[in-house]
Structure 1
Amino acid sequence: MRRQQGMRLDERYVLYLQMAGLYHLARLNDRWFRLDEPLVNAFVERWRPETYTFHMPFGECTITLQDAAYQQGLPVDRRYVSGYLTDFQIYIQGGRPAWVWFQELLGVLPPVNQIQKFAVNCTWFQETFGECPKGADDEIVRYYARAYIMILLGTQLFADKSGNRIHIIWLPNVARLEEMGGYSWGSAALAWLYRCIAEWPTDKW
């Protein structure tokens, strides 16, 4: 997990984070997360993908749905998270171009040099949405809350190997914040973690 440097948890986002079922994770992220690279590397070396367990000197152990629920506060018994679109150039709702939708939901478009296919550099998110302006109206606060949630998903739960890009595949979720809490984010994050541990070379940590 990576701490969201430059993305302060604003009290005005709390309502939206609660709707999304991610408020507990956001609070943990804002205070506690630090990446211990040697420790993570040691765990990766002891991971056995055929059994989904860590082979430790004292026996086998693993990360469970209970861990996701109790430690991260993520829902684990709701609708499954899906929606990897094979062609994100044109989103299926009304055939709107994805970047038009991005601008509608976040109020701004990233410069071309900050985009890699359908992912945006984290630094742009952090610089653009690092702190919500004082006196911002409800629409502006929603822009910032959506950006915060996208980077929370893209860096804390579903980070890619680069660790510095946010995929815009999360647009359908942040478009309907009131529905996000109905998804099993814990089981999706756990499945993603298993996949990443199995595929990630230890020299990348």
Structure 2
Amino acid sequence: MIERWQLETHTFHLRTGEATITLQDVEVIYGLQIDGQALYRVEPPEMLPYRQELTRLIGFEPLQRDMCGQSRLLRSSLYAHLRFVDLQDPIDEATPQADVDRRARLYILIIFGGIMFPNTSGANMSMRYLLFIKDLDRRDVATRGAAVLAYMYRGFDQASMGKRLEVTAFSSLLQVETFSANSCSPSR
């Protein structure tokens, strides 16, 4: 796909012509909000204690060997924790709301760091997304759809300029675009 990405126009040049992924695609296909406040990261003046925040918000205290620096965590350790809590303590009607909230934050963190905003390491995920899942009751939900699309465009731009060897993107968006572009191609 990188070979077909045009940096100047942010489009893919396919056999069927130019194609791109739009905000409407993100909203209609994935149901991600595209209107509202921008999703952005404000760096705090000091490094957040991500490990302590992870324990407080999700109830998971990773081993030091599962940490990569101060802000990255092995995805496999988070997945193992998820499997453990799902097996040991399934959610039912008697589950306290605090436990439901911790589980919801765990799923959201995995979706953010592992699916919507992946990084090139493949094995690690950023814990900076903890900043966006602190308050589950916030009514002013940020536009995650626009952030996902911008993140994908940035990843393709960097890869096409040779700054990166791999693309960081919500790969399902690429599969949908490739499928829809190919399904519209004239038969030969």
Q: What's the counterpart of residue 115 of structure 2?
A: 156
What's the secondary structure of 1:51's corresponding residue? coil
The answer (yes or no) to whether the contact 1:75–1:181 under 8 Å persists in 2 is: no
Deviation (angstroms), 1:88: 5.5
Change (3 A) 1:180 1:172: farther
Deviation (angstroms), 1:137: 3.0
1:80 aligns with 2:32: no
1:105 aligns with 2:52: no
Change (3 A) 1:122 1:181: farther
1:182 aligns with 2:141: yes
What's the secondary structure of 2:125's corresponding residue? strand
1:65 is matched with which residue: 18, 23, 28?
23
Map 1:132-151 onto structure 2 (within 5 A). 132=86, 133-134=89-90, 136-151=95-110
Q: What's the counterpart of residue 115 of structure 1?
A: 67
Count of paired positions: 157
Change (3 A) 1:49 1:88: farther
The answer (yes or no) to whether the contact 1:122–1:165 under 8 Å persists in 2 is: yes
Deviation (angstroms), 1:147: 1.1
What's the secondary structure of 1:178's corresponding residue? coil
Q: What's the counterpart of residue 156 of structure 2?
A: 197
The answer (yes or no) to whether the contact 1:105–1:143 under 8 Å persists in 2 is: yes
Deviation (angstroms), 1:121: 0.7
The answer (yes or no) to whether the contact 2:51–2:62 under 8 Å persists in 1 is: no
Aligned-partner Cα distance in 2 for 1:108–1:203: 33
Aligned-partner Cα distance in 2 for 1:88–1:147: 24
Letter in 1 for 2:114: T
CA-based RMSD = 2.2
2:5 is matched with which residue: 26, 29, 47?
47
Aligned-partner Cα distance in 1 for 2:26–2:140: 15
Deviation (angstroms), 1:84: 4.5
Q: What's the counterpart of residue 170 of structure 2?
A: none
Q: What's the counterpart of residue 175 of structure 2?
A: none
Q: What's the counterpart of residue 127 of structure 1?
A: 80
What's the secondary structure of 1:159's corresponding residue? coil
Instruction: State the TM-score, normalized to the length of structure 1.
Output: 0.69
Change (3 A) 1:180 1:164: farther
Aligned-partner Cα distance in 2 for 1:109–1:185: 27
Letter in 2 for 1:108: F
Deviation (angstroms), 1:103: 1.5
The answer (yes or no) to whether the contact 2:58–2:105 under 8 Å persists in 1 is: yes
Uncovered stretches (5+) of structure 2, i.e. residues with no partner: 168-188
Q: Deviations over 1:161-193 (max 9, x none)?
A: 112222111112111112276110000000000
Letter in 1 for 2:138: E
Change (3 A) 1:88 1:153: farther
Instruction: State the TM-score, normalized to the length of structure 2.
Output: 0.75
Deviation (angstroms), 1:48: 0.8
What's the secondary structure of 2:18's corresponding residue? strand
